[in-house]
């Protein structure tokens, strides 16, 4: 009897302490660093406004709701609910992380500048040329079945760059690569302008890549 009471008390104390220590950080929709129409003619203003204000915002809202539920379950030691919440956290949290990066990967055509320095050297070393990397990225990304993302990432174990893709809203880190550049190929990213022509969207997006941001990501990853 005494042992049972002690165990119950220990469990209650553990939950209370764990619950008190857990801090849920609320995700926020980041502002874009350019106007909705700034990426035209590659991506039109209507797509950008809907994509940022509706789609990304929904991931943020649902991620915060899922985190809240998870924290409540965690405070109660409700492991079944904690496990059940994980797909929603991965999907909506991934959607928030991926889109937050995607906006920064893009720049107005008037501000476009080619990659240079260490980034360009490593692209040429690992793919042969910038064109070869872009071809490989475009081919892999156009071929994503259904919805997903194309990525240029850095492999910390090998010190090399690599192209990969993920399904749905899975973040690049789930492949083992640190993301440097991500391209959204969900239909909401291009359909209003390109209809079914995903290859045209991905080929055109090279005209608005913010290579300075991609290069900074590489410096931070190395
Ligand atoms: Fe998207």
Q: What is the pLDDT of residues 20-65, one digit of tens each?
A: 556 678 999 999 999 999 999 999 999 999 999 999 999 999 999 9
Domains of the chain: residue spans and CATH: 109-221 (3.55.40.20)
What is the torsional sign of CA 143, 51, 107, 105?
negative
**Å from CA of 29 to ligand 1 middle:** 13
**Å from CA of 189 to ligand 1 middle:** 5
**Å from CA of 194 to ligand 1 middle:** 15
Judge whether residue 218 has pLDDT over 70. yes
Q: What is the pLDDT of residues 68-96, one digit of tens each?
A: 999 999 999 999 999 999 999 999 999 99
**Å from CA of 177 to ligand 1 middle:** 20
Q: If you average pLDDT over residues 90-118, what whole number do you get?
A: 98
Query: How far, in Å, CA of 163 to CA of 185, rounded?
Result: 15
Query: How far, in Å, CA of 132 to CA of 123, rounded?
Result: 9
Query: How far, in Å, CA of 153 to CA of 178, rounded?
Result: 5
- Percentage of the chain beyond pLDDT 90 is 89
**Å from CA of 215 to ligand 1 middle:** 23
pLDDT class for 209, splitting at 50, 70, 90?
Answer: very high
**Å from CA of 48 to ligand 1 middle:** 10
Instruction: Give counts: helices (H), strands (E), the chain.
Output: 9, 3
Residue 25 has what pLDDT?
80
**Å from CA of 91 to ligand 1 middle:** 12
Among residues 143, 178, 174, the alpha carbon closest in space to that of 162 is found at: 178
């Amino acid at each position: 009897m005494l042992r049972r009471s002690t165990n119950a008390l220990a469990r209650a104390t553990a939950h209370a302490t764990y619950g008190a220590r857990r801090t849920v950080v609320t995700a926020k929709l980041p502002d874009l660093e350019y106007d909705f129409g700034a990426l035209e003619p590659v991506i039109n203003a209507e797509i950008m406004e809907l994509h940022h204000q509706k789609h990304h915002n929904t991931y943020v809202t649902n991620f915060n709701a899922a985190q809240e539920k998870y924290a409540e379950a965690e405070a109660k030691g409700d492991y079944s609910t904690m496990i059940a919440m994980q797909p929603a956290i991965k999907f909506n949290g991934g959607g928030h992380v991926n889109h937050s990066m995607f906006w920064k990967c893009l720049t107005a055509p008037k501000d476009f500048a080619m990659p240079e320095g260490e980034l360009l050297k490593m692209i040429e070393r690992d793919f042969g040329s910038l064109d070869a990397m872009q071809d490989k990225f475009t081919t892999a990304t156009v071929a994503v079945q259904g919805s997903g993302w194309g990525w240029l990432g850095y492999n910390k174990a090998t010190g090399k760059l690599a192209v990969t893709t993920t399904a749905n809203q899975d973040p690049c880190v789930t492949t083992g690569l640190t993301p440097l550049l991500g391209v959204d190929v969900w239909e909401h990213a291009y359909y209003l302008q390109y209809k079914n022509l995903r290859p045209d969207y991905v080929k055109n997006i090279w005209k608005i890549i913010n290579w300075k941001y991609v290069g900074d990501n590489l410096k931070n990853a190395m």
